[in-house]
Amino acid sequence: MENSEEPMTYFRHNGIIFCSPFHSAERLERLKDFNIDPHIPVLITYPKSGTTWMQQIMSLILCNDNDSKKMINLYTRAPWMESVRFNLEIRDCQILTTHLNYQMVPNCVKSKMFKIIYVTRNPKDVIVSSYHFHKYSRFLEAPKNFQDFLENFVEGNVFFGSWFEHIRDWHSHKDELNILFVAYEDMKNDLRSVVQKVASFLNKKLDEETLESILNQCTFKHMKENPKTNYKDVSDLFNSESGSFYRKGITGDWKNYFLVSQNEWFDSIYQEKMGDFPLKFDNM
């Protein structure tokens, strides 16, 4: 990611909203045949579910809190594989990140050879975070209002498509993959346990001092202030008057946005689409 002079416009590919100049239909097609080194762990998220937070956790675990790695921007340490700027030769890459659905990732990733971490978040909080992100980003269409955004979210007419399909699809393939599901709400409740669990999944041992240091660098405040994690160097992508990437970083903020009627409507849709889904979300 870097400052760009190209016009920012969104487009659809396979019915899903992407954004130029970060994505291109041609590149998304070619991605399926990419050969990626299976030693690189893959982080998969639906947008606004805690991607950046988990990128920072994984990156610090993988480099054992090494200073030289921390001087590199997080989005270079953990690039988005769907970005046109992602280059397989990138040497500083420790992790590959993607918001893509199961169908669109490189075929090679769909095997037990890759360690995959999938971060989930209560969809109502995803909606609120995403609503603000659509207002804040210059490259996305600003929502008319919350009701309109809520309807678009349910229809999948938002950046990276349907939340429901994304999580259902990835979860339905879990037995064919080496995948760890981590909940944003668990990261909020007990980050220490989550970092230990992620380290163990990545086969990394952390001593107590390193673990403490990682926990300190993964706080909302630290990441918001850290120039290597806060996206301030690409401020031209965002309308800083309309918000901040590090907005609130809490659970349950949806209660400040959903009207009772909107909540009842969403719960009925949720029940219909996700009633049988095995993962449950705190604070629904």
Per-residue binding string, ligand PPS, 123-162, x by CB under 6 A, is --x---x--xx-----------------------------
For the CB of residue 196, give the shortest distance to ligand PPS in the complex, in Å.
Answer: 17
Q: Does 246 bind ligand PPS (CB under 6 A)?
A: yes
Which of the residues 13, 39, 99, 132 is marked catalytic? 99
Closer residue to ligand PPS in complex, CB, 53/149: 53
Active site residue 99: yes
Pair of tokens at residue 126: 């995803």
Number of chain positions touching ligand PPS (CB under 6 A): 21
Closest residue by beta carbon to ligand PPS: 249
Closer residue to ligand PPS in complex, CB, 38/165: 165
Query: In the range 212-231, which residues lie near ligand PPS by CB under 6 A?
Result: 218-220, 223
For the CB of residue 119, give the shortest distance to ligand PPS in the complex, in Å.
Answer: 7
Residue pair 138/20 in contact by the 8 Å Cβ criterion: no
The catalytic site residues sit at: 99
Q: Note the residues at the interface with ligand PPS (CB under 6 A).
A: 45, 47-53, 125, 129, 132-133, 218-220, 223, 246-249, 253
